[in-house]
Structure 1
Amino acid sequence: MTQQTTTTVISKWTKILGILVLALVLNTHYAQAQVGQWNAPASANQLKNPLAGNTSVLKEAKKLYTTNCGPCHGNNGKGDGIAAAALNPKPADHTSAAVQKESDGALYWKMTEGHTPMPSYKQALTDTQRWMLVNYIRSLAKRK
């Protein structure tokens, strides 16, 4: 191999290595962002729960929760559902002070938008069903 060919090969491998390192750095940054705190935008806090305080929806909301949220968050909302062990980040404990202090709008927004590994429920559940789930999540803290 000539000196020029060797230099060209080294140059190409250096570029490839640089691209791989950049990809690794970006992937690590993205993964850390995903594991970090999940905050709803400030605008979500302005959303008003049309079912606030409506306990008549809790029976139906419990069914929705068990079906859609229970596999990850557990039927009692502790974040210990059957699928929780395989998830990163781990599902939130809906009975915790951290979740309970969030606004209804923030909880609704999170259900609507989703955040890996949690799916978006924008298409799967109606607006009313998502608000019902917010009310149900509120009721979980009272059962601790």
Structure 2
Amino acid sequence: MVCGHVSIAALALALAVSSAPGSPRPFLSQQDPDATNLRNPVPSTPESLAAGAQSYAKVCALCHGATGNGDGKLAAATAAYGAKPSNLTDDVWDHGSTDGLIFVVIRDGIGPDFNMPGFKGRLSETEIWNVVNYVRSLGVRK
């Protein structure tokens, strides 16, 4: 499918450009002191998980993979810039373990070394909370 290949190529190019010296960097959730205390207002219901799965498939799976293992189609391209997408199914949370931190990572992205864009303009807050619930469901949390 040509359209899919063009989209993948465009995203890979965007990752390369965002890695250039002097490029603006995405917000780091770890620098947001309020993110840790941000509470998830969306209950983790079957409806929320289904909606989160749909949004995840649209904006997350390309890098994190269909099952969240960090093996999406762009994983190799991002690894070339020094960071592989996180495995969302294990018990290691690289960029925050609270719902609030996960929300801010999805909303604002992370960088400078991870080149994950934020999805604030593509997903509503409710959609992001649904993705938080879905990501939490992917693996066993301690």
Question: Which interval holds the TM-score relative to the shorter structure?
Answer: 0.5 to 0.7
RCO greater where, 1 or 2, for CA within 8 Å and sep 6 or more?
Answer: 2
Identify the match of residue 133 of structure 1 among 122, 127, 131: 131
The total of aligned residue pairs comes to 109
Amino acid at match of 2:38: L
1:105 aligned onto 2:96: no
1:93 and 1:38 mapped to 2: Cα distance?
18
Seq. identity, % = 32
Greater Rg by CA: 1
Give the deviation of 1:120 after TM superposition: 1.0
Question: Match of 1:99, SS?
Answer: coil
Give the deviation of 1:99 after TM superposition: 2.1
Question: What is the aligned partner in structure 1 of residue 66 from structure 2?
Answer: 75
1:42 and 1:77 mapped to 2: Cα distance?
27
Structure 1 segments (4+ residues) deviating >6 Å: none
Normalization by structure 2: what TM-score?
0.68
Distance 1:50 1:137, change over 3 A: same
1:139 and 1:56 mapped to 2: Cα distance?
13
Distance 1:38 1:125, change over 3 A: closer
Identify the match of residue 94 of structure 1 among 88, 108, 121: 88
Question: Match of 2:104, SS?
Answer: helix
1:47 and 1:67 mapped to 2: Cα distance?
25
- Superposed counterparts of 1:108-127, under 5 Å: 108-116=103-111, 117-127=115-125
Give the deviation of 1:38 after TM superposition: 7.2
Question: What is the aligned partner in structure 1 of residue 49 from structure 2?
Answer: 58
Amino acid at match of 2:56: Y
Per-residue displacement from partner, 1:31-66 (whole Å, max 9, x unpaired)?
Answer: xxx9xx973533201111011333321112111111
Question: What is the aligned partner in structure 2 of residue 13 from structure 1?
Answer: none
For the Cα contact (< 8 Å) 1:58–1:136, is it kept in 2? yes
Question: What is the aligned partner in structure 2 of residue 49 from structure 1?
Answer: 40
Question: Match of 2:53, SS?
Answer: helix
Normalization by structure 1: what TM-score?
0.67
Is there any run of 5+ residues in structure 1 with no aligned partner, and where? 1-26
Is there any run of 5+ residues in structure 2 with no aligned partner, and where? 1-20
